[in-house]
Amino acid sequence: ATPTAITVGMGRAAREGVLFKTATHLENTATLNTVVFDKTGTLTEGKPSLTRVVALKGSEDEVLRLAASVDQHSDHPLARAIVEGAQAKNLPLLEASGFQNISGFGVEARLEGGTVRVGNVDLMLRASIPLQNTARMAEEASLQGETVMYVARGQHLIGLLGVSDQVRPEARRAVQELHRLGIKTVMLTGDSEHTARAVARQVGIDQVIAGVKPDQKRGRIQDLLHKDRKVAMVGDGINDAPALATATVGIAIGTGTDVAIETAGVVLLQDNPAAVPVAIRLARAVKGKIV
């Protein structure tokens, strides 16, 4: 493409809400054949709400109250959903000490009566907490797209929580558009396989890579690059920055964290995944490929 075409293309892209940081980023965008999306906050609204409380021991209110007492110290979107769920029921929270966030697993803190842990199945396994007969319950919730969290006190599992995050209405259209452009779509998430698949089905995503710890996201992008794919990573979180930096093109959602925006080569000015196919179409047009 000529320098003039690139300048014009970058200007036009900016008016459509797509900021290419350099000409090279625009040229790389024209070569993409795979787009990887982070799930939470990118394909979904990122504002989860509590939809399920199961008590295995004691009452549902007690399970929720204990979980919220730990998660009041976390700023994770899942934590907010749990705390808001407890507030909606006017459950008074307890004091917690020694709060710890275990990235990719969950949280724990000491409460009266022992350590309370809230998180995924791996958090329970690493603390050697038996899962009892919860597999079917967890599966039922996750098949509906809910994120399942386990709540344990001491060495005992006391309940399960389900949280739902609405799929962004524009996400489905964005994925359809990408498929029309011949692009393969992938979801990359720390959430469980069942939950991820349920959401992927709603959005129409081709491939799911689930159960990925924050420090593994980058490696999964490298795997795709080694298969000779030209990969865009679309994300918003601090967790996503290494993956954004590794991809052929990193695309940050404009309302994302500062780290994501700084790391990405392309920034979507609006909080809307529909700008991803717009960016690719424009980049291809500038490169002289008629689309």
Q: Which stretch binds ligand ADP (CB under 6 A): 16-24, 72-80, 227-235, 272-280?
A: 72-80
State the nearest-atom distance from the C-beta of 96 to ligand ADP, in Å: 13
Looking up tokens 């999964």, which residue turns up? Answer: 220
Please select the residue that binds Mg ion; options are 28, 29, 34, 40, rule is CB under 5 A: 40
Q: Which stretch binds ligand ADP (CB under 6 A): 91-99, 130-138, 174-182, 183-191?
A: 183-191
Q: Is 215 a catalytic residue?
A: no
Q: Dump the DSSP string for 23-77.
A: HHHHHHHHT--EEEEEIIIIIB-S--EEEEEEESSS-HHHHHHHHHHHHTT--SH
Q: How far is the CB of 163 from Mg ion (least distance, A)?
A: 13
Q: Name which of 192, 194, 188, 222 is nearest 208 in CA terms.
A: 188
Kindly indicate which of the ranges 18-26, 46-54, 100-108, 280-288 contains the residues binding ligand ADP, using the contact rule CB under 6 A: 100-108
Question: How far does Cα 265 stand from its chain's mean position?
Answer: 20
Q: In sequence order, which residues have a C-beta less than 8 Å from that of residue 115 and are 6 or more positions away?
A: 108, 109, 153, 154
Nearest CB to ligand ADP, comparing residues 28 and 239: 239
Site for Mg ion in 198-257 (CB under 5 A): 237
Contacts of 285 (CB under 8 A, 6+ apart): 9, 291
Count of residues that bind ligand ADP according to CB under 6 A: 22
Binding interface with ligand ADP (CB under 6 A):
39-40, 71, 74, 76, 78-79, 104-107, 118-120, 147, 149, 189-191, 214, 237, 239
